[in-house]
């Protein structure tokens, strides 16, 4: 259990720092009116989505251990934590990498990571919700 808490804490804070820095970078791109960022509406949108998802999912990973009931099964918690961390990695990375060479209205092919990460996230959330109902 303590290992899982440590993993989530390390991943969560690292991820939050990385995506906050990413946010700073795109704000700077906005501030300095960088054409490569502002002129392509699709790239603009998906980079903002990458930042938003990265930050929010990092917070979800950080919050996850705090919501575990004391009597929770350690192995099950580890699997759920793994799902959430994978989702927190794949979803924003899919958006960010999809901004490289996007098509006119479709992000680049790495955006395929987003639905994969989304599926893992939903699975992780279902498991977390189920355990929240199961244990008092």
Report, in Å, the least distance between residue 86 CB and other proteins.
15
Query: Which helix (H) or strand (E) segment is 56 a member of?
Result: helix 41-63
Minimum CB separation of residue 105 from other proteins in Å reads 5
Residues 6+ apart with CB under 8 A from 48: 26
Using alpha carbons only, give the angle 20, 21, 24 rounded to the nearest 5 degrees: 90
Task: Tell which one of 41, 67, 122, 129 touches other proteins (CB under 8 A).
Answer: 41
Which of 72, 78, 66 lies closest to 7, judged by CA? 78
Judged by CB under 8 A, does residue 76 bind other proteins? no
User: Could you say whether residue 22 binds other proteins (CB under 8 A)?
Assistant: no
Q: Rule CB under 8 A: is residue 109 a binding residue for other proteins?
A: yes
Under the binding rule (CB under 8 A), the answer on residue 104 touching other proteins is: yes
**Number of C-beta neighbours around residue 110 at 10 A:** 17
**What number of chain residues touch other proteins (CB under 8 A)?**
7
d(C-alpha 62, C-alpha 9), whole Å: 6
Element (H, E) at 62: helix 41-63
Q: Which is nearer to other proteins, 5 or 42 (CB)?
A: 42
Cβ closest to other proteins, residue 16 vs residue 90 = 90
Binding to other proteins by residue 75, rule CB under 8 A?
A: no
Binding site for other proteins (CB under 8 A): 41-42, 103-106, 109
């Amino acid at each position: 259990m303590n290992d899982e808490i440590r993993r989530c804490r390390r991943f969560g804070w690292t991820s939050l720092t990385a995506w906050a820095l990413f946010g700073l970078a795109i704000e700077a791109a906005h501030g300095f009116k960088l054409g490569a960022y502002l002129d392509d509406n699709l790239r603009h949108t998906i980079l903002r989505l990458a930042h938003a998802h990265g930050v929010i999912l990092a917070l979800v990973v950080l919050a996850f251990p705090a919501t575990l009931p004391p009597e929770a099964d350690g192995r099950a918690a580890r699997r759920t934590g793994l799902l959430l961390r994978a989702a927190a990695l794949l979803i924003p990375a899919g958006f960010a990498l999809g901004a490289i060479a996007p098509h006119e209205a479709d992000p680049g092919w790495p955006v395929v990571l987003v639905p994969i990460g989304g599926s893992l996230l939903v699975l992780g959330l279902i498991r977390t919700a189920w355990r929240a109902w199961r244990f008092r």
